[in-house]
Structure 1
Amino acid sequence: MTPTRVHSGGKTASPSTARAINDRLALGFLQREGPLTAGQLKTLTGLSRPTVADLVERLQDAHLITVVGEAGAERRGPNARLYGIVADRAHLAGVDVRTDSVSVCVADLLGRTLAEASLPIDAKTASAPGGPDAGLPAVEAAVELLTRTAAQAGAVPLHSVGVGAPGLLDPVTGTLGHTGWLPQWHTALVTALRERFPTQLLLENEANLAAVAEQRLGAARDRDTFVLLWLGGGTGAAVVLDGVLRRGASGGAGEIGFLPVPGTGKLPAWTGCEGGFHSLAGGPGLCALVRSHGLASEGVDIHAAEQALRSAVAAVQGSEGAAVEDAFLDAYADGVAIGAAAVSAVLDPGCVVIGGETGLAGGDELARRVQERVARMSPVRLEVRAGTMGGAAVLRGAVLTAMDAAQDDLFAPES
């Protein structure tokens, strides 16, 4: 039987290369479309029937796909067999590391959740000053959480682990850079995970992972170029240009919390972003606006402030007597628009997604007001969208990153 030969750049691929390309093509359709018959694979890939028969047999022998059922009760037999990816070939995990909590999710090779758990971290214990043992209880608790969750998912070993954390990620070393505003246990946790799980560990900035999730599953599914503006307890941004996540020369692309802006009364410093955009639109700015408009008490935290934001949105959308809430939303949109306008003027992404817990709380109402203000400030056209995944985007982005790595490895042709 003559193998399919693929032409690329005027050259004819070797038989082994052609088989590898065909296998990856078929696996891609099986991943995106779900179980398929050989006839459906033939239609989708454009390959000949004999070539599809060969690749199906090859992928079954490699334990990458298996028969999962039949298509149509009236059409039984070999031609009706449904083939699907062997999802339990490997497990993978996502880890979302915050300053006061850790969340983990263990999934199968298709990214389907098998077990999920979270754990609050005592901020005082975790950030206690000292030597190498500073924050050790937090590190041990986080490692145990992932170990226990992986055991709940089954006996299949973890192939890849994606970890999202705030802070600067050095693109050369793949480690979290030293910062003065994050607890020491974050760096120690990454080291401990590498020691405990002899597997592929992928560390990424939390806003970047949120952008991955919003692009694959959320508000930016139709966008190859956009910026995610992460608003919550922390503030950040992720830059996606022509489908590629851009991290910058030192990993600092998107650290918009440090952007000097008017209205804060001071300038940020490398040890902290107080006085930057974070103070205007992040947790401190939102809490201050909630208090100043009388929507919460002096002791309001970010969670209560986000609830006040949700309530304000509901009030202005549900009645005509919500003057205070309307003024509060206008004031917050003013601050967020400064960052969005700066991003638009420098990058011209065409779209900004307001993500994070705060973006989810403000929803379409906040996005609409921000877009109106940016339009008055800049001639560059910008669509502002509300993120749909909130704080869950980081964990989901970590799972997707681990899934991509596992599939790239397991789906790679044998040499």
Structure 2
Amino acid sequence: MPASPSTARAINDRLALRLLQQEGPLTAGQLKQFTGLSRPTVADLVDRLTASGLITVVGESGEQRRGPNARLYGIVADRAYLAALDVRTDSVAVTVSDLLGRELAEASAPVGPDTGTGPAVEQAVTLVERAAKEAGAPRLHTVGIGAPGLIDPVTGELRDSTGLPEWHRRLVAALQERLPRARVIVENETNLAALAEQRDGAARGRDTFVLLWLGHGTGAAVVLDGALRHGASGGTGEIGFLPVPGTGGLPSATDCTGGFHSLAGSAAVVELAAEHGLAGAPSGREPAAAELVRGAVRGSSPEAGRFLDALADRLALGAASVVAVLDPGCVVLGGDTGRAGGEALAARVARRIARMSPLPTQVRPSTLGGAAVLRGALLTARDRAQEILFAPPGPTGGPRPAG
């Protein structure tokens, strides 16, 4: 059944907008070439999108022939402003961007363990408001939040999890109250890191892979056939609870001690380094575990090599379990520790998986590290804003209005 004229226009509009977002400013002739649409159809959609305020003339192509055919059209970047938050147990970081993803302001602040729930929430919300003001954003269209813990797949809300501060759950409601016209989205930090690695990092071009998050805690994000998998309760990737040998016990429903976390969490990595004679005063430039791993990679002592071998033995236990069940073809060692280990640690883990599993699996180090969460939150906010702004036409024939 052929599409109705209004549906066809909506499809063409979204195609053109996606091209302008991915390729940058284009002439009408280039849009015709990329889309395969006729010249009158392209002229019609350019007029329609210009009138809607989504695109505008941003220059000329530099071709010898001047005039309408040389005009470069681009997305109106300030049509929507976005914010992204990386919410940790002891800190919060925020960045504000325009619709093209250009970062306009950023800020971060520690949140002390003795800070009460109300003050912590107020501190985080104020940080967002200050960054938006610095960016010159009159209002925020969409806010993406990355946080540890489980996200309810039905409500999209952060579930009440033991070990996480109460201000995490209160923050979403507080942001929605203070920014009533903004859309607030929350997602698990490891899932956002995987999205960032797929778009801009180690998993670029792959539609099936697993990201093994190695930071203060451990986690995994599963991307299969291009889709991020959450599971029935939102718990896909809770690898910290995976029972593994060598921990001296088993995890419980409320405590991952005895699981993979006990081998690969940051505290365990620091202890392992000390067992191999590697220690030192932390510089504070990155987490202690990541700093120790990076130092071992750069060093050439027998102790450093044995430490990396022992760490790879541990990581391979979790990674091989994931490979046996999912056959992802690629495992990314993410988080600050995964990035610090680089190719040296990834190659060690790959060799051990190859001995443990018949399934061919690449192991790659993260190229984004801890910054992947904030980047993933921003990408998620931009995708959601574009879904709304580039939506099929409303009753008046133009794109549906924001807000």
Q: What TM-score, normalized by structure 1, do the two folds share?
A: 0.92
Paired letter, 2:293: L
Paired letter, 1:350: G
Closer/same/farther in 2, CA of residues 230 and 245 from structure 1, 3 Å limit: same
> Counterpart in 1 of 2:295?
311
Q: Give the 5 Å matches for 1:335-374.
A: 335-374=314-353
1:88-144: CA deviation from partner (whole Å, max 9, x where unpaired): 00101111100000000111011110111111110232xxxxxxxx42111110000
Asked if the contact 1:180/1:270 (under 8 Å) is kept, the reply is no
SS at match of 1:227: strand
Q: Which residue of the other structure, out of 73, 86, 90, is the alignment partner of 1:83?
A: 73
What is the distance in 2 between the residues matched to 1:379 and 1:414?
51
Paired letter, 1:249: A
SS at match of 1:167: coil
1:16-53: CA deviation from partner (whole Å, max 9, x where unpaired): 11111111111111010000011100000000111101
> Counterpart in 2 of 1:202?
185
Paired letter, 1:257: G
Paired letter, 1:213: A
What is the distance in 1 between the residues matched to 2:108 and 2:349?
33
Asked if the contact 2:151/2:157 (under 8 Å) is kept, the reply is yes
Is 2:221 the partner of 1:238? Answer: yes
Paired letter, 1:226: F
Q: Give the 5 Å matches for 1:398-413.
A: 398-413=377-392
What is the distance in 1 between the residues matched to 2:21 and 2:77?
10
Paired letter, 1:259: L
Paired letter, 2:355: R
Is 2:96 the partner of 1:121? Answer: no
> Counterpart in 2 of 1:253?
236
Paired letter, 1:370: V
1:334-354: CA deviation from partner (whole Å, max 9, x where unpaired): 001111100000111111111
> Counterpart in 1 of 2:41?
51
Is 2:118 the partner of 1:136? Answer: yes
What is the RMSD of the two structures over their aligned residues, measured on CA atoms? 1.5
Deviation at 1:379, TM superposition (A): 0.9
Closer/same/farther in 2, CA of residues 232 and 346 from structure 1, 3 Å limit: same
Closer/same/farther in 2, CA of residues 219 and 299 from structure 1, 3 Å limit: closer
What is the distance in 2 between the residues matched to 1:300 and 1:47?
57
Is 2:88 the partner of 1:98? Answer: yes
Deviation at 1:206, TM superposition (A): 0.3
Structure 1, unmatched stretches of 5+, are: 1-10, 126-133, 317-321
Is 2:11 the partner of 1:21? Answer: yes
Paired letter, 1:306: A
Q: Which residue of the other structure, out of 343, 346, 355, is the alignment partner of 1:376?
A: 355
Q: Which residue of the other structure, out of 38, 41, 57, is the alignment partner of 2:28?
A: 38
What is the distance in 2 between the residues matched to 1:404 and 1:76?
35
What is the distance in 2 between the residues matched to 1:180 and 1:28?
41
> Counterpart in 2 of 1:70?
60
Q: Give the 5 Å matches for 1:104-115.
A: 104-115=94-105
Paired letter, 2:128: L
Deviation at 1:297, TM superposition (A): 5.1
Q: Which residue of the other structure, out of 152, 159, 162, is the alignment partner of 1:180?
A: 162
SS at match of 1:41: helix
Deviation at 1:398, TM superposition (A): 0.4
What is the distance in 2 between the residues matched to 1:149 and 1:203?
19
> Counterpart in 1 of 2:400?
none
Structure 2, unmatched stretches of 5+, are: 395-403
What is the distance in 2 between the residues matched to 1:120 and 1:270?
30
Paired letter, 1:366: L
Deviation at 1:75, TM superposition (A): 3.0
Following TM superposition, the consecutive aligned residue runs of length 4 or more in structure 1 with deviations greater than 6 angstroms are 298-302
Deviation at 1:226, TM superposition (A): 0.5
What is the distance in 2 between the residues matched to 1:202 and 1:175?
8
What is the distance in 2 between the residues matched to 1:107 and 1:386?
27
What is the distance in 1 between the residues matched to 2:100 and 2:282?
44
SS at match of 2:141: strand
